[in-house]
Amino acid sequence: MRIRIVDAFTDRPFAGNPAGVLILDSFPDDGRLQNVAMEVNHAETAFAHPLPPGGEADWALRWFTPVTEVDLCGHATLATAHVLHTTGAHTGPVRFATRSGVLVATPAEDGSFTLDFPTAPLTPVALPDGVAQALGAEPLTAFDTGPNIGDLLVELPDEKTVHALRPDHKALGAHSRRGIIATARAENPALGYDYVSRCFFPNVGIDEDPVTGSAHTALAPYWSERLGRTSLTGLQASPRTGRVRTELRGERTLLGGRAVTVIEGDLLAW
């Protein structure tokens, strides 16, 4: 069985967010999927299998971190669409049946993809006690991001503060279902991005996620309202870095990016 490691939301290897991708005939029991994801040990490993023609989706898709299955993942969806197209397993837009409904990945002539995801509902909340101490910075605002994501979104005073974060990951885990999205307005939009973010997900086994597509379904409406534009670009300021193009369309958010296959090999134990 072929297994691939794909760097997503980047146009060069060893950047963006790596995901494992396996194309199957059907899903085995959950324990096998979790064991493979634990062995791959990236933020997510995606498993997909084809569905019968004529339905609302073309492929079934699931995502696992090293410790649990998740409801929504952008970078592993992008990585899976990239694998399906580069291997010839699928052409044209791909409709994925997932735990978050049908998600569509549409290819462009330049090799990039646009993902159609549900927009995260943002609800302002009081900043929980201990978040500022765990982050090492005092947020200006705090928002719940709804059931699909399960994060706490906080805005920090400036971009430098986001870059400088050295959080207490264990302490952060007490304040949301998945983790914390920390963001700030870009200091210099002339550099090609409108806002920055970093994402810390200790509750699903990921201290810091390199580039998080799902988080941008919350970042897009947050910054679109503040900046007065529906089309934006976010820089995720992790050590690997990556950029996500976002376009807010009401209850849907479009996420754009590229992907690069870095490793391809055989899965010998199954």
Provide the annotated active-site residues.
44
Strand partners, 265: 3
